Amino acid sequence: MSMKPRIVVTGIGVVTPIGSGRGAFWTPLTAGVSGGGTISAFDASPYATQIAAECRDFDPMAYMHRKLAGRMGRNSQMAVAAAMQAVQDAGLDLAGMDTARVGCCVGAAAGDFNTLEENHVEFLDRGAKAISPFCVPKVIPNMPAGNVAIALGIHGPNFAALSACATGAHSIGMALLLLRAGQADVMLAGGVESTITPFVLNGYVAMGALSKRNDAPARASRPFDKTRDGFVMGEGAGVLVLETLEHARARGAEPIAEVAGFGATADGFGLAQPDPEAAWTAKAMELALRDAGMSASDVQYINAHGTSTPANDRSETKAILKVFGDAPPLVSSNKSMIGHTLGAAGAIEAAATALTVKHGVIPPTINFEVPDEEIPLDVVPNVARSVRVEAALSNSFGFGGQNGVLAFRKV
């Protein structure tokens, strides 16, 4: 049996509520900075939830011409920005490469609801002629991947995973499999989301999923804390450059970490509620470890899905204890700082996990004040911790019970 080629991360691009670009993201993440605030994109004062984690400083014109930006939804703009950052971070010379061997898998949990809502209002007010010809190309959820290919001039495998909050993780997992299969030399992989709109916000409110701590937005996302009352919507993008270790070494690139394994399962249980017994989220972790050729004892850290909802945090804890027993590794949730970025979450958190492996610094779970007796984990509360991390998992669990887990290790 032939050995699987080793796949490494050589570049990271992120657009997040606390900073864009590898360093501008990693520094506040390890410092415990919150990106939560009162919504500025629209007047949310009439609504039960008025807070979110917005990318307030994102300027698409820093990455592309105004005309090109105008043809994209905000999610595509973020995806292209993150992809450009990642390519630069990796030192890739696309002009000197066979672009048919460079692919892209960047997914979104939803389309561009900003455009959808604006055009729907115009349609109701002024009729069919008011609809923009760019409405459908902006809204359909594969367009971030398509726009990345158009902006960068790449021609390899190009598609979008679509699996709710597991989208970013599944995108990276699919890219990993394509690289192992020899279908590409380099893949840009990740996820994006920008759905902080009145309609989507209130859809999550109707589900009872969002925090209502409107008077303390920076402290509203509190994964694993006993007083948690729901997640804080976030937006952003994360794109990783993945390539075979052989290809990276041939061009003199320095790997950040190895993407060693991928596991995916379905709860087959409920539309939004995770399986309370956590059998299939645990199985996804076990499959990622098996794919990586690792055992549970090899792992020092888990970047948790950690949404700050009562049901998810309990279920994820149960899954971790099923896999790791009475001595689980350190666990923390980036969502305490950047909110729940939905389709982007698995990708941004994968980027953070790769950087944790590289630097040996575990970002904290901020806003942790009241321990929950149902969660017997060390969640690295409030202050980052320096620990040598040889291997780590990144968990992503989506509505519909779609689970994706990535395993990373030092190169």
Run of H or E including 1: none
Angle at 389 between CA 386 and CA 393, to 5 degrees: 120
* Measured torsion, CA atoms of residues 47, 50, 53, 56, in degrees rounded to the nearest 10: 100
Token couple for 150:
């158009």
Distance CA 80, CA 26 (A): 20
CA distances, 156 to each of 146, 205, 407 (Å): 11, 40, 25
Distance CA 170, CA 178 (A): 12
The interaxial angle of helices 113-126 and 198-207, nearest 10 deg, is 110
User: What is the DSSP-derived secondary structure letter of residue 210?
Assistant: B
The interaxial angle of helices 310-324 and 279-292, nearest 10 deg, is 50
Closest CA to 161 of 406, 409, 410: 406
Three-state DSSP class for residue 218 = helix
Token couple for 25:
């993201």
Catalytic residues: 165, 305, 340
Query: Hey, how many other C-beta atoms are within 10 angstroms of the C-beta on 194?
Result: 32
Token couple for 81:
């920005």
* Measured torsion, CA atoms of residues 338, 186, 61, 78, in degrees rounded to the nearest 10: -30
Three-state DSSP class for residue 208 = coil
CA distances, 135 to each of 112, 113, 159 (Å): 9, 10, 20
Distance CA 411, CA 409 (A): 6
Helix/strand number for the chain, H first, E second: 13, 15
| Contact indicator for 396, 305 with CB cutoff of 8 Å | yes
